[in-house]
Amino acid sequence: MHPQLKGGSIIRREEKIHHNQVQNPPSAAYGLSIIGGVLALLGGLLLIIVGAVAGVFTFGFGFEVIDGLGIWITICSLVVIIAASKLKSDPFEHSKWGAIILVFSLIGSWSLLNFIGGILALVYKPIPVGAQLQYGQPQQFGPPPQQAYKQPPAKVCPQCARIVQAKERFCPNCGKHID
């Protein structure tokens, strides 16, 4: 079969792109995770630099922990940034990437932004391109529609010619019995 045909063994680039596109991209989860990852990365690099400079002045005594902590934060931040990028490129795998972002924000980067981004990625519900949005029954605002008021038929008093309601048995004006 020709590779450009739909049943071919090679997936066309347009089909793959269409497969991963959604109507509602995970922008908040992606943005928070990227910003938190970059800030934590900068903090980790700063710890490495501070540990290295302090280690030079103290001949390397006691600042290995700061360097190690800086390296750990840097590695975890890089994992969060990569997972956020993967979340944006493949939003249907949001559970996997959200869990990775959440775990590495807890064990390494300690960034509240990453934590929130991971939770948002986990609860994200992708809607594929071309899918109909599923809405419930439309809500009506205000009171329910009223039926038109129908006035009961009226009677005419045979004695005084006054209009009397249909439920009245006697004319309220003259007292004559009305049938």
Segment 78-133, tens digit of pLDDT: 999 999 999 888 888 888 989 999 999 998 878 888 898 988 898 888 877 776 65
Q: Is residue 42 part of a domain?
A: yes
Confidence of residue 75 (pLDDT cuts 50, 70, 90): very high
pLDDT computed for residue 14 by the predictor: 45
Residue-range definition of the domain harbouring residue 173: 152-179
- State the CB neighbour count (10 A cutoff) for residue 117: 31
Confidence of residue 4 (pLDDT cuts 50, 70, 90): very low
pLDDT computed for residue 80 by the predictor: 93
Q: Residue holding tokens 């004559």?
A: 176
Are residues 84 and 162 located together in one domain of the fold? no
Q: Is residue 69 part of a domain?
A: yes
Check: CB of residue 105 under 8 Å from CB of residue 31: no
Tell which wins on pLDDT, 19 or 21. 21
Confidence of residue 68 (pLDDT cuts 50, 70, 90): confident
Q: Is residue 56 part of a domain?
A: yes
pLDDT computed for residue 62 by the predictor: 64
Mean of all residue pLDDT scores within the chain? 79
Q: How many domains does the chain have?
A: 2
CA–CA distance, 74 with 79 (Å, rounded to integer): 9
Give the DSSP H or E segment for 45: helix 27-57
Q: Which two tokens stand for residue 16?
A: 């793959």
Are residues 90 and 167 located together in one domain of the fold? no
Taking phi over 0 as left and psi of -120 to 50 as alpha, with beta for the rest, 47 belongs to alpha
Check: CB of residue 43 under 8 Å from CB of residue 69: no
Are residues 97 and 176 located together in one domain of the fold? no
CA–CA distance, 46 with 70 (Å, rounded to integer): 7
